[in-house]
Each structure stands twice: as structure tokens, then as C-alpha cells.
Amino acid sequence: MKKAVKISVLLLLAGMLLTGCVSKFKKISVSSFELESVVPTSLRSANVVIDVGIDNPAPSFQVRDIEATIKQNGNVMGLVTGEPVSVDGKCNRVYRIPLKAQIAEGISLMQVLATYKSFNPEEFTIDLHARANIAGKVGKDIEYNDVPLSKLMKK
């Protein structure tokens, strides 16, 4: 009987701790976003580096399986993938994130260059999918659709 009471108390305490952590995870925010560099690796791909400021009041976690689709006026222009990123707990820090970008099928290099010449961030949106993991085990999928590029660039 004493063992059952101890287990119940431990489960109750664990639940309370997890509830507190969950509310902190909801307060994570992107404080800045900047395109650092774009280095072409072929006629259809490039290595891209972005700097993302993250204000994280929660414990540390890792973001992996980063995939994004870049669209112009609803048409897919490119696909982006990224390596895992470890986000420090309880801090506001800028993270340099290396990405690999590739022009989408059916889009020519000339179309991309024409877009670059008359670039208007209002025409672009991003779909993002990633997985956030705490201690490599517990995780949650992150999904954002049709996020305006102009919104990211203002931060």
C-alpha cells in the first residue's frame, strides 16, 4: 500500500513538472531572422546559411528533420532541408543554421534569376516542417503553412 502511495505521489509530481514545462515551450519565439549567405553548388542547388534568433524560456531541445517549401504566388519555387540544430535552454540566442536549397522541378534557373531581379517578399510564402525533441526521445512535430516571407524578414 505504501508503495502505491509513493508511486501515485511521484506520478502527480511528474505531471505537475511536465505541465509547467509545456507552458514554457508555448512561450518560445523567434526574435530575429536574417539570410547570412547563399553559395551556389550547382545550377539547381545552393548552400544557404541563415541566422535565427530564438528566445527560449524552456529547457534545451533539438530541432531535426527540417524541411521547407518556398512558394511564389502559390507556385513551388524551391525545397530546403537542414541539419539538426540544438537550441539551448533558458536563453535568447542567435543560431547559425546551414541549409541546402534546391530549385523545384519544373522551375528553370532563368525563372529564379528573374525573380531575384524583381524580388518582392510579399509574393513569397514558406511551408515548414520539423521535429523538436527533448533529450532525444520525447518530441513534437512542428508544422507551419503559408508563412509570409515578409513576416520573417521583419523580425
pLDDT in tens, 88-147: 989 999 999 999 999 999 998 888 888 877 888 889 999 999 988 887 667 788 898 998
* Residues contacting residue 5 through CB under 8 Å, at least 6 positions apart: none
Query: Sign of the CA dihedral 44, 65, 130, 30?
Result: negative
pLDDT range class, residue 20, cuts 50, 70, 90: very low
Residue 72 covered by a domain: yes
Residue 20 covered by a domain: no
Cα 127 to Cα 147: distance, rounded to the nearest angstrom: 7
Residue 71 covered by a domain: yes
Residue 21 covered by a domain: no
Residue 115 covered by a domain: yes
Residue 17 covered by a domain: no
Domain residue limits at 126 = 28-154
Domain count, the chain: 1
Residue 9 covered by a domain: no
Position 29 scores a pLDDT of 83
